[in-house]
Structure 1
Amino acid sequence: MAGRALTEIPMGDSPAVGDAAVQRPWRSRVKLSSIAAGIEEFLANAGFDRGPWLTVFFAAGIATWFALDNPFQWVCAIAAAFLVITGGRAMWYERPERAEISLALTATALVFAAGLATVWARSEMVGAAAISKPAFTQITARVLSREDQPSKNRVRLLLAMRDAETGTAQKVRVNVPTASDQPALREGAVIKLNARLMPPAPPMVPGAYDFARTAWFLGLSATGSASGEVEIISPPAPSGGIASLQRSISRHVRSQLGGASGTIAAAFASGDRGAISAADEEAMRDAGLTHLLSISGLHVSAVIAATYMLAIRLLALWQWLALRVRLPVAAAAIAALGGIGYTLLTGAEVPTVRSCVGAVLVLIALALGREPLSLRMVAVAALFVLVLWPESLVGPSFQLSFSAVLVIIALHNSAPVRAFLAPREESGLARAGRRTVMLLVTGLAIEFALMPIVMFHFHRAGIYGAFANVIAIPLVTFLSMPLIAVALFMDSFGAGAPAWWLAGKSLDLLLAIAHWTASRPGAVRLMPEMGAGLFMAFIAGGLWLVLWKGKIRLLGLVPAGIAALVMMGRPVPDILVSGDGRHVGIAGEAGQMLTLRDSTSSYAQDNLMELAGLPGTPIPLSKWPGARCSPDFCVLTMKREGRIWHVMMAKTRNFVERDALYEACRRSDIVIADRYLPANCHPKWLRADRNMLQRSGGLTIYLGEGSIETVAQRQGEHGWWRGW
């Protein structure tokens, strides 16, 4: 009876059964269909372009490999990407009209997995294990490359050698004093020398420069310095090649143009920055002009543009060729060769390669009559660099160069800027004024876009860089570089002196601008380490701003604005401890930085000052009235968030009576030492001795929050970190 009633009742008479069987799936499909339609409409209205986003997801895969800790997590990330690919394909088969969304899901997941796999494979292929401990040894090696650094009175050699115990091949980098330099000490020579070798250093404290990671991808097993004379066992082959030509040009330029201007001219002509003094480099950095010293987009573009203009005018004089060949194509080919040659001559660093690839793409677009400056062009250049050097993604060079280009293209393709720069009937003075205003606006936009990147990597930024660049960029592009080129050409006739004199004056003006700007009050802004999370919020907001079109792009200001507010309220670390325990910085004591040691190491002091975001000169604890120091220990009492903290720090490794040490540890909240402490040393909160620091690396301690950040937390099981 019950079964009959159930089967005979029409579906329409039973709302519950009808809803369950028909209406709910139908409503779900309608809902999903509406969402998909909304996504497609959004993509159409926002100017979705697959090319740039594919490069973004390829880069996201690389970043994920660095962010995750171990191979299991990397495999899970790749597996998750393939699940998305499977879901995208299933959507395509079930709803062919949604092929656009399915294709987007499939393509982005595929390039994400490809990016992660690419950097993983690159790490396995080129990564070199570091030596286990410091060593003073005699080595026999072949010189792979040589870098002159006269400003530091040394020559830097990259050597290939074999490990004395295992016989495995190793690359090491050794600094040789200028007094021990020899003409035969160059590429191809086999040499013998005594050297003190060190494993590449990890970050000194969380957020500091990770040289161990850089060395891993360079294949370096050790760095060090030579001691005594260098013996030449086998001389090199006769001079030749790009490196030899680069050094010859650099020496020639410095011989023709002395002083600081000559060192800058050598950098422009050959990419050799080894002779630039530390004071000039610091002034250029604080004035926001360091990009002028690194051969990148500005220099490559200037060389290619000048070569193109010169070639097309000279070719136009050949009537037979002009009637039979498209001169723009021929001139573009010559300019491309000129750009490639300049890139190779100046060292083929990542910014230079990126600029060269981008400029060649612009030339191809011009030859084909297509739009030369586009986001797709930047995406292709970025993908080219990331496929060859995926590790460059996490370095400041890649991030700064591509961010600047993205800002320029996005800004100049926006409707208000196009309207502002549109041709019109006006005087030459008004036209020049509009272009000057646009140059200033572009400089400000680039300055704002690059500041989070500069702060993340260097913890300091020049505030007035946009204004300095308004004068410096035209000065270098239209005066200094052309004069250097003319001077080099005229030197072949022995008549380059006037051009060198003018070039020197223009570079003296550039340095004067840098030093004056850097010395202004408030010219440099220091900021404590922001953390990877805030940095990614800035990057995500910036990419949203430049890759979409219309008003929807303004949503990118939301994550960037939130990150800026959080960053401004980020607390200053109270204590910073280096990974070896020797260097300790105490921040927040009357706005000063206190250091455990009166160190002669500017590297250690600079790291502590920059990571704490404090300007000025650090004060040794022994000279601070609130500290009590003996020959072996310093004790400092600090007050944070209403609590008193007693911090004891070891200065030496001298023997200390066991009971006295036990009592001192018992009274302390934190004990920091660069040696092993006995088991009976039990401070109230933290014992950071050599045993702990070997596993954790450097420390950043926030007393107000009662939290500790370690270098090891950010390293995972990557090959360059030995703590795991």
Structure 2
Amino acid sequence: MAETDAAPSIALPPRQTDGWQMLAAIERVLEAERDQLALWVPVGFGAGIAGWFALPGPTGWIGLGIAAAGVGLAALLFGGTSRLGRAVTIFALAMLLGLVAIWTKADWVAAPRIDRPKVVALTGIVEAAEPRPATATIRLLIAPDTGNGLPPRVRINVDAEDLPAPPPAGSRVAVRARLLPPAPPMVPGGYDFARVAWFERIGATGRALDPPVIVAPDGGSSLADIRTRLTAHIEASIKDAGEGGIAASFVTGDQGGIPEDDNEALRRAGLAHLLSVSGLHVTAVVGAVMLLTIRLLALSRRLALHAPLPLIAAGAGALAGIGYTLLTGSEVPTVRSCIAALLVLGGIALGREAITLRLVAAGALIVLVFWPEALAGPSFQLSFAAIAALVAFHEHPKVAAFAARRDEGIVLGGARILLMLLASGVVIEAALSPIALFHFHKAGLYGAAANIVAIPLTTFVVMPAEAIALALDLVGLGAPIWWLVGKALGLLLWIAHVVADAPGSVANLPSMPRGAFALMATGGLWIVLWRTRLRRWGVVPLAMGAIWSLLTPPPDILVTGDGRHVAVRDGRDGIAILRDRAGDYVRDVLGEASGVEGEAPALELMPFARCSADLCAVDVSGGGRTIRLLATRSRDFVDIRAMTRACAAADIVVSDRRLPRTCHPRWLKADAPFLRSTGGLAIRIGSGEVESVAEQVGLHPWGSFAAGSR
């Protein structure tokens, strides 16, 4: 009997679920982006560092570490054979390593700090001396003698008239000084010097009360001394203080000689990046040395025919870059730029493409491994955001095709170069604006136009001219070249002041929520690091962060951590301050945190305030509500019965001293004991939100609040 065919199956064929289809689609996208995946390793490492800074204390840090390890392990177990699983595993591992790196570094640099102001007889060794002609002071970094019972490093300011010349490093110093603990942010969102001081092991800052006694060391000069003398020489060679200070900053990185009005103009014009020795300056030095080396060696026919001149020139450029980095104080932007330059030179030596996003990512990872704390500072963020955005822009196929060299006339070629410079400036400004708004609460809007002239002027005129002038100074012939440098820098300052004074030149924004900044940073990285259409999704978190920032209302009341200074919104997009004798620094901090510019009048001059010599009562409106604020403004005692009645009629009472127990405002009593536990306050009346510095600092080791975060 012949075999019959098997009956056909009536079972349905296996069908992929929506979840599997989505995973398959993700795999296809990641396959197309496989060359970009490595760029996310430093992002993951930085995310771990950022998480440590953002979370308030050990509980959150441990939770973040467990979460990263859990996600990485799950991705490895359930998707280790897929590209998505491997990518998630590596990103999670990088995040865990970043968290461990910053936590370890913070514990490793731990050093004693003073806990209250004190006057001491300080003796020790000068580690560095930084002249600051703009403020007529010299800043000394001192390692006190062990018997003083002081922190390992102390920073004090000395009046320039009490110290005619900066002492060389290694000098012994004896001085009576008033020391303070490293200052936390004055108000929420402000500059956190305490964090910076922690990682630099500075346990006290202060001011000399008497002229110091200096005993100079025997022996040679250190790099710090050479830098100090070189700064003084450059500033003396150019008569104008602003031009001389900028010229010195290009060579030694010392910005102390630049007058504040010129500094502010450069910031408002989007040109402040020129003052920080970073990629532009290192590239100019390395490129000039390479060009000079290869030209000189090529004069020998034997060397030109038989020696690897590009390799030798790259080696000379590398040595020049390292020497320049050391001379300028090895600040993080300079170190980052030097590392990037060395990687470029290595790529040239190997015959590889010089500048790529992989090189930028490698430089970022190296910096973060050795200096993880740099991630929290604006210098690192601005530096890498600018270079990453610029490289990604020029790597785009359409941009690369437009910028490619071609046989065309001078007019068309020049117009193409000019257009690329303008477009590059716009891209850089777009990348830097969120960072500037987050850290400084302001960003220049015309920086792209200003940089079209400023960058070529600095790169091709000022820096080469300074190098020639310094070389000619060896034989006493540098004066004419210094005159040229002064004129070029005068043009730079003229551009800065014109742009800074133009209507609408600066965008101001009050303190930005950290979550909004994180969303914008994520969106920016997403756009920059991917190449396919996947990058377009970065617009979503970028827009969400921007909208969140714009919709966040400015604080209606700001209180500094010492309780002495209060700023309230005047209902006309301005602020008024409690004490009319507040210094410029306090006024700037309160204005920036409020997102306003211009003079802040005294509170007593406002029609909504009623002030006496001791108290000010103010009706403050915000978010559809009006509350009564009462603030003390003198150190004199107030009759307790009058104070009790005033407190009962107020919603918020602020004082820089302890208020009596009978003082019971309806909402908040922010007196000295309370502010010691919270730090500065930002109050929004409509939502009832009270944001404190202590909340932002949390339980990080540099925090100094009595009750921690609230």
CA distance, structure 1, for counterparts of residue 543 and residue 267 of structure 2 = 26
Written as runs of structure 1 = structure 2, the 5 A alignment for 1:53-68 is 53-68=40-55
Partner of 1:225: helix, strand, or coil?
A: strand
Could you tell me which of 466, 470, 476 is aligned with 1:494?
476
Partner of 1:401: helix, strand, or coil?
A: helix
Alignment match, 2:168: 186
Alignment match, 2:74: 87
Partner of 2:291: helix, strand, or coil?
A: helix
Alignment pair present for 1:235 and 2:235: no
Could you tell me which of 442, 449, 467 is aligned with 2:449?
467
Comparing 535-544 with 186-195, which one deviates more in the overlay?
A: 186-195
Written as runs of structure 1 = structure 2, the 5 A alignment for 1:377-456 is 377-456=359-438
Written as runs of structure 1 = structure 2, the 5 A alignment for 1:364-383 is 364-383=346-365
Partner of 2:512: helix, strand, or coil?
A: coil
Partner of 1:49: helix, strand, or coil?
A: helix
Alignment match, 2:36: 49
CA distance, structure 2, for counterparts of residue 524 and residue 717 of structure 1 = 35
Alignment match, 1:158: 141
CA distance, structure 2, for counterparts of residue 198 and residue 457 of structure 1 = 24
Written as runs of structure 1 = structure 2, the 5 A alignment for 1:634-713 is 634-713=616-695
Alignment match, 1:555: 537
AA in 2 matched with 1:63 = A
Q: Cα distance, 1:429 vs. partner? A: 1.8
CA distance, structure 1, for counterparts of residue 257 and residue 109 of structure 2 = 30
Alignment match, 2:270: 288
TM-score for the superposition, normalised by structure 2: 0.95
AA in 2 matched with 1:102 = G
CA distance, structure 2, for counterparts of residue 662 and residue 600 of structure 1 = 28
CA distance, structure 2, for counterparts of residue 478 and residue 578 of structure 1 = 46
Q: Cα distance, 1:262 vs. partner? A: 2.0
Alignment match, 2:318: 336
Alignment match, 2:5: none
Comparing 289-298 with 167-176, which one deviates more in the overlay?
A: 167-176
CA distance, structure 2, for counterparts of residue 86 and residue 550 of structure 1 = 29
Alignment match, 2:132: 149
- Percent of aligned positions with the same letter in both sequences? 44
Partner of 1:701: helix, strand, or coil?
A: strand
Alignment pair present for 1:351 and 2:338: no
Alignment match, 1:602: 584
AA in 1 matched with 2:640 = R
Q: Cα distance, 1:67 vs. partner? A: 1.1
Alignment match, 2:6: none
Q: Cα distance, 1:569 vs. partner? A: 2.3
CA distance, structure 1, for counterparts of residue 602 and residue 508 of structure 2 = 21
Could you tell me which of 70, 76, 96 is aligned with 1:113?
96
Q: 1:659 to 1:600 in 2, by over 3 A?
A: closer
Query: CA deviation digits over 1:121-153, x for unaligned, max 9?
Result: 110111334311001121111111111112211
Partner of 2:235: helix, strand, or coil?
A: helix
Q: 1:502 to 1:639 in 2, by over 3 A?
A: closer
CA distance, structure 1, for counterparts of residue 407 and residue 166 of structure 2 = 64
Query: CA deviation digits over 1:687-707, x for unaligned, max 9?
Result: 111121111111111111121
Q: Cα distance, 1:102 vs. partner? A: 3.2
CA distance, structure 1, for counterparts of residue 280 and residue 416 of structure 2 = 21
Alignment match, 1:254: 235
Q: Check the 8 A contact 1:592/1:619 in 2, yes or no.
A: no
Could you tell me which of 527, 537, 545 is aligned with 2:509?
527
5+ residue gaps, structure 1: 1-12
Query: CA deviation digits over 1:358-404, x for unaligned, max 9?
Result: 11111111121111111110011111111111111010000000000
AA in 2 matched with 1:157 = L
Q: Cα distance, 1:348 vs. partner? A: 1.2
CA distance, structure 2, for counterparts of residue 328 and residue 385 of structure 1 = 27
CA distance, structure 2, for counterparts of residue 182 and residue 294 of structure 1 = 27
AA in 1 matched with 2:615 = F
Partner of 2:207: helix, strand, or coil?
A: strand
Q: Check the 8 A contact 2:652/2:666 in 1, yes or no.
A: yes
5+ residue gaps, structure 2: 1-8
Alignment match, 1:633: 615
Q: 1:174 to 1:699 in 2, by over 3 A?
A: same
Query: CA deviation digits over 1:253-273, x for unaligned, max 9?
Result: 222221132222111122221
Comparing 61-70 with 123-132, which one deviates more in the overlay?
A: 123-132
Alignment match, 1:719: 701
Q: Cα distance, 1:319 vs. partner? A: 3.1
CA distance, structure 2, for counterparts of residue 534 and residue 640 of structure 1 = 22
Alignment match, 1:134: 117
Q: Supply the RMSD in Å over aligned alpha carbons.
A: 2.1
Alignment match, 2:26: 39
Q: Check the 8 A contact 1:129/1:720 in 2, yes or no.
A: no
Alignment match, 2:571: 589
Q: Check the 8 A contact 1:184/1:236 in 2, yes or no.
A: no
Q: Cα distance, 1:179 vs. partner? A: 1.5
Number of paired residues?
A: 698
Q: Check the 8 A contact 1:289/1:469 in 2, yes or no.
A: yes
Q: Cα distance, 1:168 vs. partner? A: 6.3
CA distance, structure 2, for counterparts of residue 563 and residue 103 of structure 1 = 29
Query: CA deviation digits over 1:294-341, x for unaligned, max 9?
Result: 111111101111111111121222333334432111110111111111
Q: 1:495 to 1:73 in 2, by over 3 A?
A: same
CA distance, structure 2, for counterparts of residue 341 and residue 682 of structure 1 = 63
Partner of 1:594: helix, strand, or coil?
A: strand
Alignment match, 2:290: 308
Alignment pair present for 1:573 and 2:555: yes
Q: Check the 8 A contact 1:47/1:548 in 2, yes or no.
A: no
Partner of 2:183: helix, strand, or coil?
A: coil
Partner of 1:156: helix, strand, or coil?
A: strand
